[in-house]
Amino acid sequence: MIISMKLHSSKEEIDQVCERIRDFGYKIHAIEGEERVVIGAVGVGDVTACLESVEAMPQVEKAVRISAPYKFVSKEFHTERSRIRVNGCEIGGDEFIVMAGPCSVESENQIMRAAEGVAACGAKLLRGGAFKPRTSPYDFQGLETEGLKLLAKAKRATGLAIITEVMSDRDVSLVAEYADVLQIGARNMQNFALLKTLGKCGRAVLLKRGMSSTIRELLMSAEYIVAHGNPNVILCERGIRTFETATRNTCDIAAVAVLDELTHLPVILDPSHATGKRSLVPALCRAAVAIGADGLLVEVHPWPEKAVSDGAQSLDLSQFRKMMHDLQPYLDLWKESRVTPATAAV
Sites of contact with ligand PEP (CB under 6 A): 103, 129, 133, 185-187, 208, 238, 273
| Site for Mn ion contains 76 (CB under 5 A) | no
Q: Which stretch binds Mn ion (CB under 5 A): 22-30, 101-109, 114-122, 233-241?
A: 101-109
Distance in Å, CB of 129 to Mn ion, minimum? 7
Check binding of 274 to Mn ion (CB under 5 A): no
Name which of ligand PEP, Mn ion, none residue 208 binds, using a CB cut-off of 5 to 8 Å depending on partner kind. Answer: ligand PEP
Q: Which of 1, 17, 103, 235 binds Mn ion (CB under 5 A)?
A: 103
Single-letter code of the amino acid located at 50? C
Measured from the CB atom, is 37 or 103 closer to Mn ion? 103
**For ligand PEP, which residue has the nearest CB?**
185
Q: Which is nearer to Mn ion, 74 or 314 (CB)?
A: 314
Q: Could you give the CA distance from residue 90 to residue 284 in angstroms, rounded to a whole number?
A: 22
**Closest distance of CB 273 from ligand PEP, Å:** 4
Task: State the DSSP code for 127.
Answer: E
Which of 227, 224, 262 has the alpha carbon at shortest distance from 27?
Answer: 227
Q: How far apart are CA 17 and CA 40, in angstroms?
A: 11
Q: What is the nearest approach in angstroms of Mn ion to the Cβ of residue 186?
A: 10
Q: Choose the one of Mn ion, ligand PEP, none that binds residue 300, judging by a C-beta under 5 to 8 angstroms depending on kind.
A: none
Residue of 90, 92, 81, 96 lying closest to 331 (CA atoms): 96
Minimum CB distance to ligand PEP smaller for 142 or for 231: 142
Binding region for Mn ion (CB under 5 A) out of 236-244, 310-318, 320-328, 334-342: 310-318
Shorter beta-carbon distance to ligand PEP: residue 10 or 192: 192
Pairing of strands 37-42, 2-5: antiparallel
Size of the site for Mn ion (CB under 5 A): 2
Note whether 298 binds Mn ion by CB under 5 A: no
Greatest CA span in the chain, whole angstroms?
67
User: DSSP H helical segments within the chain, as ranges?
Assistant: 11-23, 47-55, 108-120, 145-158, 172-178, 192-198, 215-227, 254-262, 271-275, 281-291, 317-338, 341-345
Select the binding partner of residue 186 from ligand PEP, Mn ion, none (C-beta < 5 to 8 A, by kind): ligand PEP
For the chain, the first-to-last Cα distance in angstroms comes to 37
Report d(CA 44, CA 264) in Å as an integer: 24
From CA 110, how far away is CA 147, in angstroms rounded? 11
Q: How many CB atoms lie within 10 A of CB 170?
A: 11
* DSSP one-letter code for 131: S
- The answer to whether 310 contacts Mn ion (rule: CB under 5 A) is yes
- Considering the complex, state which of residue 147 and residue 185 has its C-beta at the smaller distance from ligand PEP: 185
In the bound state with ligand PEP, the residue whose beta carbon lies nearer, of 71 and 238, is 238
Name the residue nearer to ligand PEP (CB basis): 303 or 330.
303
Nearest distance from C-beta of residue 79 to ligand PEP, angstroms: 29
Q: Out of ligand PEP, Mn ion, none, which partner does residue 133 contact, by CB within 5 to 8 A per kind?
A: ligand PEP
Query: Residues 212, 226: contact at Cβ < 8 Å?
Result: no
For ligand PEP, the closer of residues 51 and 298 by Cβ is: 298
Kind and range of the H or E run holding 164: strand 161-165
- The sign of the torsion formed by the CA atoms of 121, 125, 130, 133 equals negative
Q: Which positions lie near Mn ion, rule CB under 5 A? A: 103, 310
